[in-house]
Amino acid sequence: MITGNSFENEYYRCRKCRTFHSRKELEKMREERNYPDGRWKCLDCGSDFWVYAKFKGKFPNMIFERKLVKDLEKGNKVVFTIDDFKVHEVMDEPKNTNGKVYISFSNYRSTTENAEDWVNCFVGEWDGDTSRFK
């Protein structure tokens, strides 16, 4: 429920290589280079992409970093992409047991998630203007 959500209108930026890809472009690159899907790292340098998502309606345009559940740390701000896109902070170091990770969140209860799933971590908001990256 907090894991595995990606969005139709999202873009991927590598801050090191200064590249900016649309979803279609990234899919094509992954195909061409025979990369598996589901990783959110730059295909050139391996840095984590920043994911720039554009939403219609009442939600702000958000910048995410996608982390595997097993890589979450205390203090990470996880975006719950159900309901209201609220940000909940990881309160303690998550406990990983046999592929299941126990996480306690601020202003929420604790949940158990699969270690290999990924979540959206909040980086910031943006104005939705993709032209600056071209």
Q: List residues binding Zn ion (CB under 5 A).
A: 14, 16-17, 42, 44-45, 47
Residue of closest CB approach to Zn ion: 42
Report in angstroms how near the CB of residue 41 gets to Zn ion at its nearest.
8
Residue found under tokens 């982390």: 67
Closer by beta carbon to Zn ion, 29 or else 115: 29
| Closest to 65 in 3D by CA, of 130, 1, 6 | 6
Q: Shortest approach of Zn ion to residue 65 CB, angstroms?
A: 14
Q: How far is the CB of 92 from Zn ion (least distance, A)?
A: 32
b/e map 66-99, b = 16+ CB within 10 Å: bbbbbbbeeebbbbbbeeebebbebeeebeeeee
